[in-house]
Amino acid sequence: MHISKETIDNIAQLSRLEFPEAEKAAFVEKFEQIIEYFNALEAIDLTGVEPLKSIADTGENSFREDVSERPITTAEALSNAPKHNSVFFKVPKVLG
């Protein structure tokens, strides 16, 4: 498939972008490389290859059991905080 300058102009208009002519010429070359890559992918024989539902398709649940454990105390939660009082973390003001 050949990508023309008009195709680049149309894509730029649809995306509400403006490019100098030199960049448009570079886009033609890059888009043609992308199309060539997809054509190479289409040529691969995938007979017998099952599609994945997920890239981490292990077939089993990877979550741990929902087990109740001892809750963390306020003192433990505040123990590594750089600034705190006896109950809260102290952080810089965000809103005026």
Backbone angles phi, psi at 84, to 5 degrees: -165, 160
Number of domains in the chain: 1
Within-domain flag for 93: no
For residue 26, report the phi and psi dihedrals to the nearest 5 degrees.
-65, -35
pTM of model > 0.85 = no
Is 12 within the bounds of a domain?
yes
Proportion of the chain in helix, strand, coil states, percent, rounded to 5: 40, 0, 60
**Rg of the chain, C-alpha, whole Å:** 28
Span 53-57, average pLDDT: 71
36 is in which domain, residue-wise?
A: 5-42
Evaluate whether residue 69 is within a structural domain.
Answer: no
Residue 3 above 80 pLDDT? yes
Asked if the structure places residue 30 within a domain, the reply is yes
Percent above pLDDT 70 for the chain: 92
Q: What percent of the chain has pLDDT over 90?
A: 49
